[in-house]
Amino acid sequence: MLPIDAAAHSSRWRRRHPVDKAVLGLGLTVLAISLPPWPGAALVLVTAVALLLGPAGVPGRRLWRAYRVPLGFCATGALTLLVQVGGPGGWVSLADGGAVRAGELMLRTSAASLGVLLFAFTTPMSDLLPRLVRAGVPAPVVDVALVTYRMSFLLLDSVRRVHEAQAARLGHTTRAATWRSLAGLGATAFVRAFDRATRLQSGLAGRGYDGTLRVLVPEARVSAPFTAAALALLTALISVTLVLERLLP
């Protein structure tokens, strides 16, 4: 199991309905995109971090390990705004106002990423996907997503085992050996994935599969107080942003 999935299953908000957490997490994401970068996105970023480390109970180290990947993409996208191609400055030169635009983009994207992570760190996919059918998503689409989600862990475990076996047989001592091991790893993972898919299909057929996977979903109800508090927090962020936008230069 991936660290973010393990954290979602052990989260303090695990038993809450996904709608409650979607209103808060995805609401923060929408605010990060729509409000002015300063101070709006900055306030959203601070609020999301406080919620993740506080009420949600996400360990700081685990949050950083998950956050640094989207943060790297955010930084890569922001760096492109620092330069311009062509123009009077030459083939490549510093863009006018590029640092400001890069900073604004960094604030927006990093805050929006934290809003998504707030939802991901508190909502296991096994709780979310089965409920999508009630929201109008076609059942076959949800079934494919469920099977892909569950099989991905088996495939990752197989890749890890093969990699450890190759390392134990000195398969990574030289660059040539590493490339050979990587090719063997890819081939083995490909074959095992097809083998597992075939066995899964045979097992479902033997159990009278009729086109729908029936799974147990933990009972949960939408909490009106939690949703109201989330909406109040989002409204407060909008109000504070509008006030500070007038006061700050």
* pLDDT given for residue 211 in this prediction: 63
Q: Which of 237, 230, 238 is nearest to 25 (CA)?
A: 230
Q: How confident is the model at residue 29, as a pLDDT?
A: 92
87 vs 83, residue with greater confidence: 83
- The tens digit of pLDDT for each residue in 133-163 reads 777 777 778 777 777 777 777 788 888 888 8
Residues facing residue 8 across a β-bridge = none
Six-digit token pair at 165? 């076996």
pLDDT tier for residue 65 given thresholds of 50, 70 and 90: confident
* Segment 106-121, tens digit of pLDDT: 889 999 999 998 988 8
The first and second tokens of residue 101, run together, are 């635009």
Tokens of 133: 């059918």
Quick one: pLDDT at residue 1? 58
pTM, full prediction: 0.75
What are 213-245's pLDDT values in tens digits? Answer: 666 666 778 788 888 999 999 999 999 988 887
Reported as a pLDDT band with limits 50, 70 and 90, residue 11 is: confident
Q: Are 44 and 31 in contact (CB under 8 A)?
A: yes
| CA angle in degrees (0–180, nearest 5) for 155-156-160 | 120
Mean pLDDT of 79-102: 76
* Positive or negative: CA dihedral 1, 150, 57, 70: positive
Q: Tokens 């994207």 sit at which residue?
A: 109
Q: How far apart are CA 5 and CA 152, in angstroms?
A: 12
In residues, how long is the chain? 249
Token pair, residue 26, equals 């995805």
Return the structure tokens found at 54: 């506080």
pLDDT at res. 162: 85
Please tell me which of 15-24, 26-35, 97-106, 198-207 the model is most confident about, judged by mean pLDDT. 26-35
